[in-house]
């Protein structure tokens, strides 16, 4: 890890640590996740991804923070001056906070004193920029007379628009709590808590307070997390205020979900990242307060997303304009936005709804998003990124080493290392097995400590072995039977399998088949478990074809192809014809390859198609070809070119684009 060139400044700063605070650590959710610190990924699909995050993505994110002047913003804020030029974005500080968060998750499983020392030096730089009352926002503090153009002349006057002051607080809290949990060091947590205290004193209901809401949500769920760590009720109250005041302040519009109070909302609208962060915050507040009206509101919105606004890849946010949800059933492919951050937000929401309701359908959506629309946002080697994630391209997208607006790369750097925390969960004497990942874990069920492991190559095959390596317990092991096994693409009628296949599954305990029934998508095995017991799970994993609801105009006459949780696409390097100019057979047959030493040992799928092309005289010809498909997440690793997820099966949907034609678009973005 590269040392900061400004270490001399760090050494001169005084370390101040406040008195210890009470630890609450009570989320209120009826189901408790097994923390990421208790789960170690050993191999399989995810080990290389986590290693790439540790060795490439996180160091890259730190280096970009240094190269792009993120740290310099804090240093200049120590000595404000009218000569300081404030440029970039007012949320640039969050790239520092998010990268620290991701690094903290990795430190929990891979102790690294050099990295820890590096983060400590960054924390000192951050803390030095904090104003005496706790306010910490370098876009203003560097040059109070001429702050960032989005920030306004006084604190918080533009927070409902573009200043991102509360957004910065949210990511600071998330990063500080993660670092505290990973290392036990309070310095960053104390800094973040002082900023939270500043906002609690100045924003809210009551005399002398400003009645404002975040223009970009995340402070809500971060403040709830701070409450669970400290036990201080004012942070929960502040989060609830931010939610309850939405739709009642000066800013009332769809873009930032302030068009009506949150309890009256029933449709996912506006900026998709803001929206999902809001819904996650609502779930957190609902879990602790028990407010059923919050839960009903989130359930309504979730039904709208899953029933009308989610892509087959789990991506959300159809429109480039406003990085926003579209109308119901508005799901274009070539112009789809599907911001990587929105996929991360979609995971947050579904995860929390599982913790509230205990239904596998939420993890079905989470898994679809995770293996497709989320990890498509970062290259296999961890070193390049997508901001939008379209489902069709004519060569107008390429992975980038970084972005000026770097929210997606830095968000990926904090999400991927947190993956182990999504695998298991516990409720009383119930153990939930939610994701199938090669791992070992230490789990406490009803006071009984167990060590267990999963061995699997999922998602490439459907065989999983779960073994009790140490300990014993009288408990129910609840194994999620994925929706794709149960013939459910998503928990709605938005997509459906168009073939006649009926995948089977089997579960054996110590080699003996177990019969049982499903409850909320889980197969439950209730018994006394002892060291050496094993569960062998098998899911049939045929290639499936999917059709969209006829109301999705963009997908009429087309099908998508998937295997297990993986959505596939056709891309130019694997096919010597235009992948947009084809027609699949009415009843397509598929061949699955053995693991290939390309794109991270993927498995390809091939199927006969008819390729359409124009002759020199303009005549249309048809030729029998074999179409090769790759996992959607792995596209655009071999240069720019054609790609397609939804493939024509009806002549009316075939495009037959003439040679040289292009549908290039602007894939710029606006935060």
Instruction: State the catalytic residues.
Output: 323, 407
The alpha helices in 369-472, defined as continuous H runs, are: 407-415
Strand-strand pairing, 647-648 and 558-563: antiparallel
User: From its phi and psi, is residue 144 left (phi > 0), alpha (psi between -120 and 50) or beta?
Assistant: alpha
CA separation for the pair 280, 218 (Å, rounded): 9
Contact 105, 119 (CB under 8 A): no
Measuring CA to CA, how many Å separate 289 from each of 237, 239, 285, 350, 354?
Answer: 10, 12, 6, 19, 17
Strand-strand pairing, 534-539 and 620-631: unpaired
User: Which of these, 559, 611, 558, lies nearest to 582 by C-alpha position?
Assistant: 611
Q: Apex CA 114: angle with CA 112 and CA 116, to 5°?
A: 70
Give the 3-state secondary structure of 58-120.
HHHHHHHHHHCCHHHHHHHHHCCCCCCCCCCCCCCHHHHHHHHHHHHHHHHHCCCHHHHHHHH
Measuring CA to CA, how many Å separate 130 from each of 12, 123, 136, 142, 455?
Answer: 16, 11, 5, 11, 48
Contact 175, 163 (CB under 8 A): no
Q: Apex CA 407: angle with CA 262 and CA 70, to 5°?
A: 125
Contact 462, 55 (CB under 8 A): no
CA separation for the pair 62, 119 (Å, rounded): 10
Helices and strands, number each (H, E), in the chain: 16, 24
What sign does the CA torsion over 187, 188, 189, 194 have?
positive
DSSP 5-27: TTHHHHHHSPP--PPP-------
Please, which residues bridge with residue 563 across strands?
A: 543, 566
């Amino acid at each position: 890890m590269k040392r900061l060139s400004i270490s001399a400044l760090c050494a001169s700063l005084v370390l101040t640590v406040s008195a210890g605070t009470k630890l609450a650590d009570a989320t209120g959710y009826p189901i408790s996740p097994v923390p990421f610190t208790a789960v170690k990924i050993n191999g399989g699909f995810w080990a290389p991804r986590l290693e790439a995050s540790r060795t490439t993505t996180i160091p890259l994110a730190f280096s970009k923070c240094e190269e792009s002047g993120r740290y310099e913003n804090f240093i200049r804020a120590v000595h404000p001056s009218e000569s300081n030029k404030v440029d970039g974005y007012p949320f640039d500080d969050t790239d520092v906070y998010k990268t620290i968060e991701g690094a903290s998750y990795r430190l929990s499983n891979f102790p690294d004193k050099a990295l820890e020392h590096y983060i400590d030096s960054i924390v000192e730089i951050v803390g030095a920029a904090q104003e005496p009352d706790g306010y910490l926002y370098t876009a203003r503090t560097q040059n109070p007379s001429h702050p960032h153009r989005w920030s306004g002349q006084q604190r918080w006057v533009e927070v409902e628009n573009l200043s991102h002051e509360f957004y910065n607080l949210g990511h600071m809290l998330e990063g500080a709590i993660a670092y505290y949990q990973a290392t036990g060091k309070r310095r960053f947590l104390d800094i973040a808590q002082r900023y939270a205290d500043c906002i609690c004193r100045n924003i809210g209901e009551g005399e002398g307070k400003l009645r404002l809401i975040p223009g970009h949500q995340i402070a809500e769920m971060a403040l709830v997390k701070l409450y669970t760590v400290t036990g201080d009720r004012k942070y929960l109250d502040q989060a609830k205020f931010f939610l309850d005041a939405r739709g009642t302040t000066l800013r009332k519009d769809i873009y930032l979900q302030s068009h009506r109070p949150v309890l009256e909302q029933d449709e996912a609208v506006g900026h998709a990242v803001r929206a999902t962060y809001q819904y996650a915050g609502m779930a957190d507040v609902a879990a602790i307060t028990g407010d059923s009206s919050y839960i009903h509101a989130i359930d309504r919105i979730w039904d709208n997303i899953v029933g009308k606004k989610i892509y087959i890849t789990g991506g959300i946010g159809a429109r480039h304009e406003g990085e926003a949800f579209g109308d119901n059933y508005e799901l274009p492919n070539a112009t789809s936005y599907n911001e990587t951050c929105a996929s991360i937000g979609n995971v947050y929401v579904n995860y929390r709804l599982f913790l509230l309701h205990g239904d596998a359908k939420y993890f079905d959506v989470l898994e679809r998003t995770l293996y497709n629309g989320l990890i498509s946002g970062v290259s296999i080697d961890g070193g390049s990124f997508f901001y939008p994630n379209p489902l069709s391209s004519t060569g107008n997208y390429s992975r980038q080493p970084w972005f000026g607006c770097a929210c997606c790369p830095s968000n990926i750097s904090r999400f991927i290392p947190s993956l182990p925390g999504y695998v298991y969960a516990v409720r009383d004497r119930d153990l939930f097995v939610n994701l199938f990942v090669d791992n070992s874990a230490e789990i406490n069920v009803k006071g009984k400590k167990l060590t267990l492991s999963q061995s699997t190559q999922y998602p490439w095959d459907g065989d999983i072995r779960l073994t009790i390596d140490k300990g014993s317990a009288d408990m129910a092991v609840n194994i999620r039977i994925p929706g794709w096994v149960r013939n459910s693409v998503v928990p709605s009628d938005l997509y459906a399998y168009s073939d006649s296949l009926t995948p089977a599954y089997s579960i054996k305990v110590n080699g003996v088949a177990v019969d049982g029934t499903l409850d909320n998508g889980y197969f439950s095995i209730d018994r006394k478990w002892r060291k050496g017991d094993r569960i062998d799970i098998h899911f049939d994993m045929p290639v499936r074809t999917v059709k969209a609801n006829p109301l999705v105009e963009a997908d009429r006459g087309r099908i998508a192809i998937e295997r297990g949780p993986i959505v596939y696409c056709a891309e130019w390097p694997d096919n010597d014809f235009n992948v947009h100019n084809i027609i699949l057979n009415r009843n397509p047959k598929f061949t699955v390859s053995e693991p290939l030493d390309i794109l991270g040992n993927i498995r390809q799928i091939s199927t006969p198609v008819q390729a359409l092309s124009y002759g020199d005289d303009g005549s249309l010809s048809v030729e029998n070809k074999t179409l090769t498909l790759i996992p959607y997440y792995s596209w655009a690793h071999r240069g720019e070119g054609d790609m397609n997820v939804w493939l024509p099966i009806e002549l009316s949907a075939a495009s037959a684009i003439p040679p040289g034609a292009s549908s290039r678009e602007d894939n710029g973005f606006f935060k």
